[in-house]
Amino acid sequence: MDHSALFKRHGRSATTIATLVVLMSAGPAFAHTGGDVIFGFWSGFLHPITGLDHLVAMVAVGLWGAQLGNPAIWVLPITFPLVMALGGVLGISGVVIPYPEVVIAASAIALGLAVAFRITPPLWIAAVLVGVFAIFHGYAHGMELPGAADPVGFGVGFVTATGLLHLCGIAIGTLTRWPIGGRVVQACGAAIGCVGVFFLYSL
């Protein structure tokens, strides 16, 4: 048996394995700096989930839509990410929109109160309100886009995460079918409003 050839073959295998281990362990770091579409996607996907002010507002959209029923249960959660994408483009483009964090905190307060008090405006008013808030949420995401992250991947990531958060809100909102469930949903709205007040006070 050619021991030198065997040693070289195993050496190459060990090197390959070591390289894979290094790449896998470096993955989280790449996810923050962004190197391609995949890393950009995950960076964008985690962004709204790890930001409590964004998270509660997006869940509130689903809750409110579920409270309002058809067609609002789908119109509001579809309106938010679509308009938010536009806000993200504005943020990436460097367009200046004043006081985005104030409006984001205010969105949690307004949407939380809408759920807590079961406010039922005409659908177009609810959609316009959600759309206005969505612009500021998207703008903040665009402004905070990591310099090296892929903008398209990042945008798709945060829109996807937003849609899932809306679905979570809708799932919780379906509790309104039962009297006690309706009170639970209203309590969630009140809690979201309190979170908004906290963030507004913290600014």
pLDDT (tens, 9 = 90+) of the chain, 203 residues, equals 443 443 334 334 333 333 333 333 334 433 344 445 677 788 888 888 888 989 999 999 999 999 999 999 999 999 999 999 899 889 888 889 999 999 999 999 999 999 999 999 999 999 999 999 999 999 988 887 756 567 778 778 888 999 999 999 999 999 988 889 999 999 999 999 999 999 999 98
**19, HSE (Cβ side, Cα atoms, 13 Å):** 6
Separation between Cα atoms, residue 14 and residue 155, nearest integer Å: 38
- Asked whether the beta carbons of 116 and 189 are under 8 A apart, the reply is yes
Q: Which among 52, 43, 67, 75 has a CA at the least distance from the CA of 142?
A: 43
Residue 44, pLDDT score: 80
End-to-end C-alpha distance for the chain, whole angstroms: 73
Residue 36, pLDDT score: 55
Q: Where are the domains of the chain?
A: 1-32, 34-202
pTM of the model: 0.78
How far is residue 44 CA from its own chain's centroid? 8
